[in-house]
Amino acid sequence: MAFKKIVVAGSSGNLADHVLKALLDCTTPKFDVTVLTRSNSGKKVSVPGARVVPVNYGDKADLAAAVSGADAIMNLVSGKVGGVVDKQLLEAAKETGVRRIFPCWCGMDVLHPSAVALFTRPDGSPLAPVVSPVQDARKFLALAEENSTVSFTTLIPSLFIDAALEGRFGTIEPQNRKITLFDDGKHHVTGSSLPFIGACFVAVLQMDEEKTKNKRIRVAEVRTSLKEIAETFEKVTKLEFEKVPVSIESMLAKRQKALEEGQIIPAFYTSLMTAVFNGSGAGDIEDGLQFDGDGFLTLKRKSIEELVTEAVAKVDIA
């Protein structure tokens, strides 16, 4: 049975924009899309081609009514709120018979051993109680063991490469012509642009339902390194970029110091950057380069030079 009636939680943010565009642009099948927005946001949201339903996520009856009849739910609410909304949507899905849920975490492979070590404490508890990607991912894996009526699919695209190249995460700063090179930038990392991720979501919805049931699907648009990214920026702009050397060892020491001082958010961010760029495999989803959605992925992958060229056109470089 195809997924046609899709409920999307979250309408703001770059990922939501691109996923919604991909869903609404698709004609085979033509998705029936409902977008949930917070009823107390004070904002009037309009998404041409989709039904917009204000909802109180904390009201079980209200949320159940909003998702009733859907085939699948996509949670695009990000940050610490996303994990809370995951749980609320899962409960509503179980109550109303929704078959599939796509949890909010969309990034590196948080269940890779190196990521698990970085995002959990020695006792197994979350590094940051308000954001617990490892524990949340394990809860969805448990759906298969529970033989639940609801299944999940998690997309793992690693680094949002276009956002990173535009300087939104700090490691790559084209505006300042500066790039931080962890361990001389030698480690590989994969990434996916936001339009590519949107296309992957749609491809997964079109695939055989059993092939994606209770699966963590690894996707990648490009495989590169910080060293190659620096070289590509210099090639495209014909300008010299400052390369700031930082060792992964020093990042781990910085993480430990932040933990000892009770600085949880800095510790989490340092863990995030370390996991993505340390070459361990959490951020290097090489096998994701083979994903084609059983032929349903129609968006062509771009090279790192093409992606850098697009980023340069969008930012003011000093």
How confident is the model over 224-252, as pLDDT tens digits?
A: 999 999 999 999 999 999 999 999 999 99
Domains of the chain, earliest start first: 1-104 (3.40.50.720), 107-129+136-145+153-193+205-317 (3.90.25.10)
Q: What is the pLDDT of residue 1?
A: 67
Q: What is the pLDDT of residues 7-58, one digit of tens each?
A: 999 988 789 999 999 999 999 999 999 999 998 877 788 899 999 999 999 9
pLDDT of residue 145: 85
Q: State pTM to two decimals.
A: 0.96
Dist. CA 21–CA 222, nearest whole Å: 22
Termini Cα distance of the chain: 53
Please state whether beta strands 215-218 and 222-225 pair in parallel, antiparallel, or not at all (unpaired): unpaired
Residue 262, Ramachandran bin (φ over 0: left; ψ between -120 and 50: alpha; else beta): left
**Confidence at residue 129, expressed as pLDDT on a 0 to 100 scale:** 77
Question: Which residues does the chain have with pLDDT short of 70?
Answer: 1
Sheet hosting strand 178-182, strand order edge to edge: 172-173, 178-182, 242-246
